[in-house]
Structure 1
Amino acid sequence: MLSAQPIFTIEAELEAIMSLGRTPVGERRIIGIGGGTVRGQKFNGRVLPGGADWQVIRADGAADIQARYTIESDGGARVLVDSVGLRHGPPEVIEKLARGDNVDPALYYFRTVMRFETGDPSTDWLNRIIAVACGQRLARAVRLDVYEVE
């Protein structure tokens, strides 16, 4: 069961896509994470620059997502985020996303499973949960509504 409301929402600013080209498993891409915000009932803070989203665009058009980045609470606690997921949809919707168009997130599937790691006692509770995020791709950012698996 998921929490009724998101425990927080992450809005991460994205850098330009760096494509490594087609490999035997699909098109490899790296998208740097330049910063952002974290807001919610259980956590407020910011996304620190320096993380990245490593993607493989599969033959069926789906994007396998693996992101690692750091968030910092308003109180200074740093938390490593490890996120693995999947984004797919009709080709015309994915083309609009690639152009940077604003697309209703109900028109495509974008979900990730999130784990957290921190040494700060104020955010220690994150070490002991698994979360699921419902995502939305924006022109130069991603928005993730993060729900705790209870």
Structure 2
Amino acid sequence: MTQQPTLEATLVGHLSVAIAPPVDLGSNSAGRRRFVPITGGTLTGAWRSGHVRPGGGDWQTIRPDGVVDLRAQYVLELDDASLIEIDNRGLRHAPPAVADRLAAGAPVSPDEYYFRTAARLHTAAPEHDWLNRTVFVGNAARHADRVEIDLFAIGPLIGSPA
């Protein structure tokens, strides 16, 4: 039996993604649909810093079981002017009382609910090409005006500057 490489998680940075109030799109057979506009934000960390460009969005389905199935797409501009497209899919769920507090915009500790994402990053910048070949996971927290995400690259990281 061939031994598999170890699974490494390297913190790439911390995203703070500013959001506007959700737009309720109504319910269909999959659940309640919402669109959450992304209005800006920042990336900080040892690898790079940058900002989230306004204009992206988070399309959500609130399933009958209460799980929020989400897909956020937005553009990150790094401090070297490189543009990174982020396609971030995830799940968020909580006990009903906690979900109600989140929906009301109340402060809720991230320890009280589950919010994880899997991201694909795309760029045309040759110096950051390793992003196109790497899987990323996020450990996220929802706030009334923003989503905070610790973004981890899953490695080994081949060709990265890290």
Decide: shared fold, TM above 0.5.
yes
Structure exhibiting the larger radius of gyration computed from Cα positions:
2
> Partner of 1:68: helix, strand, or coil?
strand
Aligned residues: 149
RMSD across aligned C-alpha pairs, in angstroms? 0.9
Give CA-to-partner distance per residue, 1:69-90, whole Å, 9 cap, x none.
Answer: 0000011000000111100010
Distance in 2 between residues matched to 1:107 and 1:115, nearest whole Å:
27
Match of 1:13 in 2: 18
Cα displacement (A) at 1:125:
1.8
1:97/1:86 CA distance change after superposition, 3 Å: same
Q: After the TM superposition, which residues 38-117 of structure 1 pair with which residues of structure 2 at under 5 Å, given as runs? A: 38-117=43-122
Residue type at the aligned position of 1:3: A
- Supply the distance in 2 between the matched residues of 1:122 and 1:101 (Cα, whole angstroms): 41
Alignment deviations for residues 95-115 of structure 1 (CA, whole Å, 9 cap, x no partner): 111111111101100000000
Structure 1's unaligned 5+ residue stretches are none
Could you give the per-residue CA deviations for residues 29-62 of structure 1, whole angstroms, max 9, x where no partner exists?
Answer: 0000000000111121000001000000000000
CA distance in 2, matches of 1:29, 1:83: 16
Structure 1 residue corresponding to 2:128, chosen from 123, 130, 142? 123
Contact 1:10 1:145 in 2 (8 A): yes
Alignment partner of 1:3 is 2:4 = no
Q: Distance in 2 between matches of 1:91 and 1:126?
A: 37
Matched, 1:139 2:127: no
| Aligned CA distance change for structure 1 residues 57 and 129 (closer, same or farther; 3 Å) | same
Query: Mind listing any 5+ residue stretches in structure 2 that lack a counterpart?
Result: 1-6, 156-162
Look up the equivalent residue of 2:96 and give its one-letter code.
P
Greater Cα shift, 130-139 or 118-127: 118-127
Cα 1:120–1:69 change in 2 (3 A) is same
